[in-house]
Amino acid sequence: MSVALTCEGLCVGYQRTTVARGIGIALGRNEILAVLGPNGAGKTTLLLTLAGFLPPTAGSITVDGRDVRTGSARRMNRAGVVLVPDSRALFTNLSTLQNIAIAARRGGATVSGVLDLFPQLRIRAKVRAGMLSGGEQQMLAVARALVQGPRVLLIDEMSMGLAPIIVEQLMPLVRTVADETGTAIVLVEQHVHLALDVADTAMVLVHGDVSLAGRAAQLRDDPSALEVAYLGSAGSAGSADTADTADTADTAVEPTSAG
């Protein structure tokens, strides 16, 4: 199986301050890695590093087998890594269709193709992005990323600012995107169980360390392991959706054998 994204001993942070350390990833095409953990664990910093906005403080990053360890967002984008930020960063005064068309590039999904994936956007094609619902804006942010032809798609907090029922409707679309486009996806998400329902593999980041990693289905079926991963030796009260402590060892997430 082709491995789209590999990270070994990756440490991320700002200048000399390391925020998360010892991260190992081996993510195949059309696979989804869910990155879970409390606020401040280093999840967004990891995505910003993978997208090239921050240089790694240590370790390696490869995309399709090419070493792309860099702090250049342009270079990472050319390598096929595309970030959907939690802000969505839409052009609110442009229409839905204009937002997609302005990002389109050779080799990416066609505008018509992404509208087939998100038929609600076809209905709302002429509506200004700022007038879309939160769920529609999130669809648009993902659609705009897909027309850039990503090999690796990074999605930061798809659920940001959305009602839980909308998140339940959106999350399966992430699975559809991976399956139908062959894109590898790294999904940062606070809705733990919804993320695990669509992911192939998962890791839990707590205080900058990987406290748990493995097959998403196994983690979903073992809530006690998730709770321990979030709480660790600190033993603070809480659940896997709200806890915010613990440190443990480095763990690599391996790809599945399925194509």
Cβ atoms 137, 88 nearer than 8 A: yes
DSSP symbol at 11: E
pLDDT of residue 11: 94
Domain for residue 67, yes or no?
A: yes
Top-confidence residue, 232 or 37: 37
Residue 232 pLDDT grade (very low, low, confident, very high; cuts 50, 70, 90): low
Distance between first and last Cα of the chain: 6
In a domain? residue 157: yes
Q: Note the pLDDT tens digit of each residue in 167-212.
A: 999 999 999 999 999 999 999 999 999 999 999 999 999 988 999 9
Sign for the pseudo-dihedral over CA of 72, 86, 42, 65: negative
Cβ 252 vs Cβ 240: under 8 Å? no
In DSSP notation, 52-81 reads TSS--SEEEEEETTEE---S-HHHHHHTTE
Please check whether residue 14 lies inside any domain of the structure: yes
8 A C-beta contact, residue 14 and residue 46: no
Give the number of other Cβ atoms within 10 Å of residue 164's Cβ. 10
pLDDT per residue as tens digits for the range 41-54: 999 999 999 999 99
> Position of tokens 């032809």?
149
Contact 174, 181 (CB under 8 A): no
In the chain, the amino acid numbered 217 is A
Per the structure, how many domains does the chain have?
1
A 10 A CB-CB count for 163 gives 11
Q: What is the mean pLDDT of residues 217-229?
A: 90
Distant-in-sequence, close-in-space partners of 182: CB < 8 Å, separation ≥ 6: 29, 30
pLDDT band at 1 (very low <50, low <70, confident <90, very high): low
Angle 134-146/164-181 helices, nearest 10 degrees? 20
Give me the helices (H) in the chain, please: 43-50, 73-78, 96-103, 111-117, 119-123, 134-146, 164-181, 192-198, 216-220, 223-231
Q: Is residue 29 part of a domain?
A: yes
d(CA 250, CA 70) in angstroms, rounded, equals 22
- What whole-number percentage of the chain has pLDDT above 90? 66
Residue-wise pLDDT tens digits, 130-147: 999 999 999 999 999 999
With respect to residue 141, please indicate whether it lies within any of the assigned structural domains. no
pLDDT digits (tens, 9 = 90+) for 83-118: 999 888 899 999 999 999 999 887 778 899 999 999
Backbone angles phi and psi of 219, in degrees to 5: -65, -40
Q: Within a domain: residue 123?
A: no
> Residue 72: inside a domain, yes or no?
yes
Residue 99 falls inside a structural domain: no
Residue 236, domain CATH: 3.40.50.300
Q: In the predicted model, what is the mean pLDDT of the chain?
A: 86
The Cα 228–Cα 97 span in angstroms is 45
The pLDDT confidence band at residue 230, using thresholds 50, 70 and 90, is confident
Both tokens assigned to 216:
């998403």
DSSP 131: G
Tokens matching residue 3: 């491995």
Tokens of 11: 């440490």
Res 240 pLDDT > 60: no
Residue range(s) defining the domain that contains residue 191: 3-80+150-253
Structure tokens at 104: 């389109």
